[in-house]
Amino acid sequence: MKLEESAIFEKIPIEDTTIENTTSLQPIISVRNLTKVFGQNWERALELHSSGRTKDEIYEETGSTLALDDVSFDVIPGETFVLMGLSGSGKSTLLRCINRLIEPTEGEILLDGEDIVGMGQEELRETRRSKLGMIFQSFALLPHKTVLDNVAFGLEIQGVPAEERHTKAEEVLQMVGLGGYGGSMPDELSGGMKQRVGLARALTSDPDILLMDEAFSALDPLIRRDMQDELLDLQQRLGKTIIFVTHDLDEALKLGDRIALMKDGAIVQVGTPEEILTNPENAYVEKFVADVDLTRVLTASEVMRRPEPVAQCTAGPRVALHLMEEHDIPGIFVITRQRMLRGRVTLDAAAEAVKKGKQLADILITDVPIVAPDASLSDIISLIVESPYPVAVVDDTGRLRGVISRGAILAALARKGEDVNATA
């Protein structure tokens, strides 16, 4: 891959909205002391819960189920916040309380400071239309409508004229990779394509927040990975706030800026993927993450080493040769004074250039593999293992940030494994 082209696995650069850079922002969603009891005898169920009775004991006495237990958390604008847990942990119930598809029993859900729980039906409908997009596991497409009309359905409900809503729907279909499928019917599409239609429908109304309930769980593994990559790409471009429900830890680690791990209707830990893995707060979390694939968590920036030595592009082959001989390395990266990567020069080529009076530019190899700092190790490990020399880590401005060798990968995995074991 040439340096003039897009970097391998590099994400499209946009304004930085990652959680590390938005901690000073006000939360877009604040959930406070949220409780949900299914069953008519909810008041008695809460009394029993307050007295220390277990979930099973409450059900035996009242016939009511404590589905959510005093849940509180904040979601920052632009982050992907993952609700993760086993079946019955309360994650889908919590998600559906946020847009009141399920009515909470107690607590607050603040959206930009407004309590959704206290909204009247008309205000709630408007909030759902303008601020909250929902994507279901079951696709939920209208079988009698074309793909275009399915995508435009939310705008149709809002009374947007046909030409305007179809234009917008076509734009979003292009965005999710379904340009040209507007005239198809849902039963003509694969599972992955149907979920892309569902995603497009949610995006057409341009909501601030996407609520995704096990959105990719019904898909085949390969299609599921493609949809995960598609979502990451869209998030990079659009910067939406996403609350994503999954029972799959690998999926949570790949997609989440932060993860809330749930058990029995309560949140047992909230943290970044690395925090969840390296600092589990209790035995349940520790057991949950025990068999995780660390390559899905580590990124290039965490594995890379300083790119030393490097040669300036204004230097001659004799300088490059001296640096390589001094450090006993077979090749060296060439950069500008602003650390913009220009390519790589080998020891043999530099020695030959000195003999024949050639310039550094004459022997520069520009077709070198490069990766983005935030690329996960699982995505780039085969590239690094197969490369005969270290792989360059280059940011979205073209600057060389570091290099990754096979040895650096092994050292990082060993170090992380020791960190995880130290918390056990």
Please tell me whether residues 282 and 366 are part of one structural domain. no
Torsion of CA 182, 184, 185, 188, to 10 degrees: -130
Q: Do residue 134 and residue 265 come from a single domain?
A: yes
Q: How confident is the model at residue 322 (pLDDT cuts 50, 70, 90)?
A: very high
Interatomic CA distance for residues 302 and 63, integer angstroms = 50
Instruction: Tell me the CATH number at 335.
Output: 3.10.580.10
Asked if residue 309 and residue 277 are part of one domain, the reply reads no
Whether 252 maps to a domain, the answer reads: yes
DSSP string, 246-307: ES-HHHHHHH-SEEEEEETTEEEEEE-HHHHHHS-SSHHHHHHTTT--GGGT-BHHHH-B--
Q: Which of 292, 309, 326 is the last residue of a domain?
A: 292
**Of 236, 269, 292, which residue is a domain's last?**
292
pLDDT for 419 equals 53
pLDDT digits (tens, 9 = 90+) for 143-197: 898 999 989 988 888 888 888 989 999 988 988 888 888 889 988 888 888 888 8
Q: pLDDT tens digits for 272-295?
A: 988 888 788 999 998 888 777 777
Of 240, 271, 292, the one marking the end of a domain is 292
Residue 417's pLDDT band, with cuts at 50, 70 and 90, is low
Which residue segment(s) compose the domain that 376 sits in?
301-412
Q: Is the dihedral of CA 253, 83, 112, 160 positive or negative?
A: positive
| Mean pLDDT of the residues in the chain | 85
Average pLDDT over residues 221-231: 83
Same-domain status, 250 and 335: no
Say if residue 259 is in the same domain as residue 308: no
Do residues 264 and 368 both lie within one domain? no
pLDDT score of 354? 93
pLDDT-derived band at 423, boundaries 50, 70, 90 = very low
Is residue 149 situated within a structural domain? no
Q: Are residues 235 and 359 in the same domain?
A: no
Q: What CATH number is attached to the domain comprising 90?
A: 3.40.50.300
Q: Are 216 and 128 in a shared domain?
A: yes
CA dihedral in degrees (93, 94, 98, 104; nearest 10)?
Answer: 70
Q: Are residues 311 and 286 in the same domain?
A: no
The sheet carrying 114-115 orders its strands as 65-75, 29-38, 106-111, 114-115
If phi > 0 it is left, if psi is from -120 to 50 it is alpha, else beta; for residue 5 that is beta
What integer pLDDT is reported at residue 135 of this predicted model?
85
- The whole-number average pLDDT for the span 220-227 is 82
Mean pLDDT, residues 398-410 = 87
Which is higher by pLDDT, 299 or 321?
A: 321
- Whether 314 and 285 map to the same domain: the answer is no
Is 170 within the bounds of a domain? no
Give the list of residues 6+ apart from residue 227 with CB closer than 8 angstroms, or none: 192, 195, 196, 215, 216, 219
Q: What is the pLDDT of residues 356-378, one digit of tens each?
A: 999 999 999 999 999 999 888 88
Residue 323 has a pLDDT of 93
Residue 135 lies in a domain: yes
Domain presence at residue 134: yes
What pTM, to 2 d.p., does this model score? 0.70
Read off the pLDDT of each residue in 332-348 and give the average, rounded to a whole number. 94
pLDDT mean over 25-31? 91
Q: Are residues 340 and 313 in the same domain?
A: yes
Domain count, the chain: 2
Domain-embedded: residue 353: yes
Asked if residue 42 is part of any domain, the answer here is: yes
Q: How many helices (H) and strands (E) does the chain have?
A: 17, 16
- The string of pLDDT tens digits covering residues 48-106 is 988 988 888 999 999 999 999 999 999 999 999 999 999 889 999 999 999 999 999 99
Q: 405 and 347 in one domain? A: yes
Residue 183 lies in a domain: no
